[in-house]
Amino acid sequence: MIVYEAKLEGTDSQYRKLDEALRTGLFVRNACLRYWMDGHAKTRNDLSAYCKVLSDNPDFPWVRKLNSMARQAMSERTWAAISRFFDNCKAKKPGKKGYPRFKRLQTNVSVEYKTTGWKLSEDRRFITFTDGFEADQFKLWGTRDLHFYQISQIKRVRVVRRADGYYAQFCIDYDRREKREPTFKTVGVDVGLNHFYTDSNGETVANPRHLRKSEKSLKRLQRRLSKTQFGSKNRAKFRNKLARKHLKVTRQRKDFAVKTARCVVMSNDLVAYEDLKVRNMVRNRHLAKSISDAAWTQFRTWVEYFGKVFGVVTVAVPPHYTSQNCSNCGKVVKKTLSTRTHTCHHCGHTQDRDANAARNILEKALSTVGHIGTNASGENDLCLGEGTPPSKPTHRKRKPKEQSLESPAILGTPS
Ligand SMILES: [Zn+2]
């Protein structure tokens, strides 16, 4: 599944109609949530049945206007939030469990159409919303070409409202796989705050610190906002300004994560990184902002995504002792966070702290990849990840065997 996004260009009155649709979606969601909180809904089906009741209720005539599949999607999403909360409780996840909350229109709301309620124009540059709100035709602003896919491949169309406008997201049922020349290189990366990451070859990538760069102007806007009056137009104006600024930081961060991840994946055949529990790490309130700003989890997600697309092995190794061990002799060398250089008093090896950790990560990854589920015949290719076609490893391993068996025989017959 891939998601393409395009901005919707229309008139103000059209946007108001989209607002109405979004508000209705929110109403359905919050009503479903209330129904569950009051103990009436025990299953997903109960919620979607209640959704039907809502649309038949003459007190809420606007609910009927929203496309029926979009209404159902809203109740499904509510149930998803509820069951996620239950799962977290069952798994005894540390910290907050995510009790579902009522949403307000001011947040980034969205409404999800499935296969009906919208229509693309012949040239696929315009989208028309055909449900009861009659929002009509919008121009699509985006860099992606929808021509490449069949209409039947578009499984969902989401309308999302952000601080700077309205967007349509197309969820396309397509498995992205691309070819890439092998580079015969492996790399371990150690993410950090001084450098965004240090790899096992000692190379570093600078930490862009997007939030820190915009912090000053964000703070100024926040101050201005707090001085305005509740419910005033001025407040709405500054709220929007502040939200746009935050949106910009979010986008910068994502852009950086995507590009860096793609770069790492493209230039290596195996990428190893630490299986960090960022959730626990941000509890350190001195570092929380910097850690969140670095967006390690986002980076990792994209590394894994590109790994799948380009057939590159990605390994997450347990983070224990990666910075404490010596990458040369393997012995433990205790050091605090402030010790930036690794100096081994067992073998005399000296290296930058993060580069040492990155080498350990790579070594750990290689040792696990090499040993998990292997057997003598080389039949098992579990370890090679989903990206590699399963036929290759066995093929490669068998050939030399056959040759080595046959060649003495060939040599033997003439003599
Ligand atoms: Zn050593």
Q: What 3-state class would DSSP assign to 165?
A: strand
Structure tokens at 114: 């499935």
Q: What 3-state class would DSSP assign to 300?
A: helix
Q: What 3-state class would DSSP assign to 6?
A: strand
201 CA → ligand 1 middle, Å = 17
Structure tokens at 7: 């901005």
300 CA → ligand 1 middle, Å = 29
Reference 104, options 178, 161, 173, 174; nearest CA is 161
198 CA → ligand 1 middle, Å = 20
CB 270 within 8 A of CB 231: no
**How far from the centroid of its chain's Cα atoms is residue 5's Cα?**
15
The position carrying tokens 């250089």 is 341
194 CA → ligand 1 middle, Å = 24
CB 362 within 8 A of CB 272: yes
322 CA → ligand 1 middle, Å = 13
Structure tokens at 128: 């028309």
User: What is the C-alpha separation between 415 and 410, in angstroms, rounded?
Assistant: 10
Structure tokens at 103: 């949403």
142 CA → ligand 1 middle, Å = 53
**How far from the centroid of its chain's Cα atoms is residue 274's Cα?**
17
328 CA → ligand 1 middle, Å = 5
Is the model's pTM score more than 0.85?
no
DSSP 329: T
Strand 195-199's sheet: what is its strand order?
204-206, 195-199, 186-191, 270-274, 313-317
207 CA → ligand 1 middle, Å = 29
195 CA → ligand 1 middle, Å = 24
Q: Show Cβ contacts of residue 130 under 8 Å, excluding neighbours closer than 6 positions.
A: 67, 116, 117, 118, 119
CB 282 within 8 A of CB 261: no
342 CA → ligand 1 middle, Å = 9
Residue-wise pLDDT tens digits, 205-231: 999 999 989 999 999 999 999 999 998
Name the residue type at position 95: G
**What's the number of CA atoms in the CB half-sphere (13 Å) around residue 202?**
6
Name the residue type at position 246: H
256 CA → ligand 1 middle, Å = 35
Question: What per-residue confidence (pLDDT) applies to 82?
Answer: 92
Strand partners, 7: 141, 167
Question: What per-residue confidence (pLDDT) applies to 12?
Answer: 92
The position carrying tokens 């197309």 is 170
Question: What per-residue confidence (pLDDT) applies to 370?
Answer: 56
Question: What per-residue confidence (pLDDT) applies to 246?
Answer: 93
Strand partners, 226: none
Structure tokens at 63: 């609910």
The runs of H, that is alpha helices, within 38-66 are 44-56, 61-65
340 CA → ligand 1 middle, Å = 16
Low-confidence ranges of the chain (pLDDT < 70): 370-415
302-305 contacts: CB < 8 A, separation 24 or more? 302/257, 302/258, 302/261, 302/262, 303/261, 303/264, 303/265, 303/271, 303/273, 305/261
Question: What per-residue confidence (pLDDT) applies to 345?
Answer: 85
Question: What per-residue confidence (pLDDT) applies to 221?
Answer: 93
Beta strands per DSSP E along 10-97:
none
Structure tokens at 367: 């040792």
Name the residue type at position 214: S
Structure tokens at 376: 């003598």
333 CA → ligand 1 middle, Å = 8
Residue-wise pLDDT tens digits, 58-112: 888 888 888 888 999 999 999 999 999 999 999 888 778 889 988 888 777 899 9
277 CA → ligand 1 middle, Å = 28
269 CA → ligand 1 middle, Å = 27
Strand partners, 196: none
User: What is the C-alpha separation between 158 and 25, in angstroms, rounded?
Assistant: 12
